Amino acid sequence: MKSLLHIRREWLLLAIIAVIALAVGARAPVFLTLRNGMDIANDSAILAILVMGQMVVLLTRGIDLSVASNLALTGMVCALIGKAFPGVSIVVLIALAVAVGALLGSINGWLITGFNLPPIVVTLGTLSAYRGAIFVASKGAWISDQDIHDSIKGLPREVWLGLPALVWFAIVVLVASSVFLKLRKEGREIYALGGNPHAATYVGIPMQRRLRLVYTLSGALAGLAGLLWVGRYSIAYTELAAGFELTVVAACVIGGVSIGGGVGTVLGAGLGVLFIGVVNGALPVIQVSPFWQQAISGAVILISVAVNARSERRAGRQILERQGAAA
Amino acid sequence: MKAWNTWERVLLALLMLLLVVFGSTQTGFMSVDTLADSTFNFSEKGLLALAIALLIVCGEIDLSIAAILALCSLAMGYTMRAGLGPWAIGLAALATGVVAGAVNGVLVTRYKLPSIVVTIGTLSLYRGLALVALGDQSISGYPEVFSTLGNAYLGEVIGVKWLVVPIEFVLLCVAAVGVGLVLHRTTLGRRIYAIGANPVAARFSGIEADRYRFALFVFAGLMAAVAAILLTGRIGSTRPNIAMGWELDAITMVILGGVAIEGGRGSIVGTMLAVLLLGLFTFGMGMANVTGIVMSMVIGVLLIVSMVLPKMLKNRGAHA
């Protein structure tokens, strides 16, 4: 058992996912078909995009609870603009979604760095503020299928080189995050300041600038996800994706991203997304009530953090700055 | 830590301002009956806020508290279906709360896990179990006594007609006084502050920090159970989505009440003032026909402003 824990946790998680997939496949062979695999990938794509933003924030010991509200608000703004200007092209809409999302994210970053406030509280506040803003923007009305701009609806249905457009978006975001975190100076600095903020300040890492960058990034990705979400489900309303921020954090935690900052990889977080996608895809196939989904993901979060804490001697530091709990 | 500080005075002033503004703009707001009735919509949340205040002062947090409430309500439903009486139903709720809180406590203290992650996990788990058990069904038909607990006024029960204080609010006040006394007037309370302010120093000075943390998580479960009994009685039914999202409301109350999220600072007086402030605010806005979602937006903005404002004032003071 002990040696098992020394294997890189990404491979362990991959093995668990494979076992689940095979076990479900043994009962219902349809689960292992390419078509089903595509469905799962398509369903997980939006989550993967959000998870990359959240992971970058978690690396700095922060948290962004406002992602789902940001997603819904940006989605609503895009839907409204699409409705008001039928001639607008998809490129403009994508740019708009990213820009609106980035703006909302940068408000988080500005509040956190400008006033030295705890991220969890700031994003808790913007979580409700952005959610309410959707209601104000839409006057409470739903924008349903026939009013959603055709190019917004069309985007998730495109297939490029055999893969759905949503999966392409997710792949691009995953690769870009990987490059950013592994090869770019800013990316390495984010790990450094999450691992040890004091040391990072001493070596001259511009902490405030990097923090603003990560919240803006998280916001921009949430904005992109908002456009894709509205397109995929062809609807925009006030309660869109409510509570999804917890799924996003859950995927990060399952993927081994430490809430205490400084620890986490794109591969791990991606596998965390895949895990949630496979479990969600498997439940209806083996005829388990979809109501189990939430309970299972809760149990998995608890198990994976417990395993994490055991395999890494270094206990996770938490956002609330409780240091040296072992002392 | 003093129970009365600058922030508490600011809150009190805001509360007065709110009463004046709503009292002069909304006809009927300032009547005793209206004010008494307004307490119904924040009494249960207030109970949750008290428990969360203690946890946050101690440097922990419990995001699963509203999910525990749902589980407790579920336990009440099943006990009733099993044909047991009101006492058993109440006890089932309390026992469920204690067990659910203890699970949080064990995970945080035994396995040294950050409470925010643990309680995000148990939030999903507990709420998920409630969903699995009930699906899209609901349980109703609780004994009369629960409806009385949730809906009646103290005056009606003890036979003093003019005393129009809801029983729920009385319970909230009793709990607040109890928690306040413990936190501000006993060694136990001082130690909770010490753990929140500096866990390492607290441990070195001989405080069994983990025992306190564990106890506070169990207490949070217990308060969730009490809130579950009141809420289930008030609305007369159990649904899996009962009290959904209340953890964020309760945390907002606590933060607005001046409790520092990083632990070690804050007071119960502040928390209770914030509970009253937010409760009356939402009630008054409701009277003015403002939708719930707009209110939650205003509350979100208030939460941020309440943190930014003191810092801005302090900065200005430092420059001058």
Q: Answer whether B112 touches A (CB < 8 Å).
A: yes
Q: Is the CATH code 1.10.3470 the one for domain A7-311?
A: yes
Closest Cβ–Cβ partner in A132, A250, A324 for B294: A132
In terms of pTM, does the model score above 0.90?
A: no
**How far does the CA of residue B157 sit from the closest CA of chain A (Å)?**
39
ipTM of the complex: 0.80
pLDDT at residue A218, as a whole number: 95
pLDDT at residue B37, as a whole number: 86
Please tell me the distance from the alpha carbon of residue B241 to that of residue A243, in angstroms, as a whole number: 12
CB B72 within 8 A of CB B259: no
Closest Cβ–Cβ partner in A125, A305, A321 for B304: A125
In this structure, is the dihedral angle defined by the CA atoms of residues A45, A50, A54 and A56, taken in order, positive or negative? positive
Q: What is the pLDDT of residues B295-305, one digit of tens each?
A: 888 888 888 88
Point out the residues of chain A with pLDDT beneath 50. Answer: 1-3, 313-317, 325-327
pLDDT at residue A315, as a whole number: 45
3-state helix, strand, coil in chain A (%, to 5): 75, 0, 25
The neighbouring-strand residues paired with A236 are A143
CB B152 within 8 A of CB B167: yes
| Neighbouring C-alpha atoms within 13 Å toward the C-beta of B76 | 35
Please tell me the distance from the alpha carbon of residue B52 to that of residue B219, in angstroms, as a whole number: 10
- Among A residues 240-269, those touching chain B with beta carbons less than 8 Å apart: 243, 246, 249-250, 253, 259-260
Residues of B in contact with A246 (CB under 8 A): 120, 123-124
Point out the residues of chain B with pLDDT beneath 70. Answer: 1-3, 315-320
In this structure, is the dihedral angle defined by the CA atoms of residues A183, A259, B241 and A141, taken in order, positive or negative? negative
pLDDT at residue B274, as a whole number: 94
Contact at CB, B116 and A260, closer than 8 angstroms: no
Please tell me the distance from the alpha carbon of residue B99 to that of residue B222, in angstroms, as a whole number: 9
pLDDT at residue A241, as a whole number: 84
Residues of A in contact with B138 (CB under 8 A): none
**Mutual angle of helices A207-233 and A67-84, in 10-degree steps:** 60
Q: Answer whether B106 touches A (CB < 8 Å).
A: no
Closest Cβ–Cβ partner in B135, B252, B311 for A124: B252
Which of helix, strand or coil describes residue B163? coil
- Residue pairs between chains A and B whose CB atoms are closer than 8 Å: 180
Q: Is the CATH code 1.10.3470 the one for domain B6-14+32-310?
A: yes
pLDDT at residue B277, as a whole number: 92
Please tell me the distance from the alpha carbon of residue B69 to that of residue B93, in angstroms, as a whole number: 9
pLDDT at residue B1, as a whole number: 54
Residues of B in contact with A111 (CB under 8 A): 304, 308
Please tell me the distance from the alpha carbon of residue B57 to that of residue B215, in angstroms, as a whole number: 14
pLDDT at residue B97, as a whole number: 97
Residues of A in contact with B313 (CB under 8 A): none
Q: What is the pLDDT of residues A99-132, one digit of tens each?
A: 999 999 999 999 999 888 888 889 988 988 999 8
Residues of B in contact with A301 (CB under 8 A): 117, 120-121, 124-125
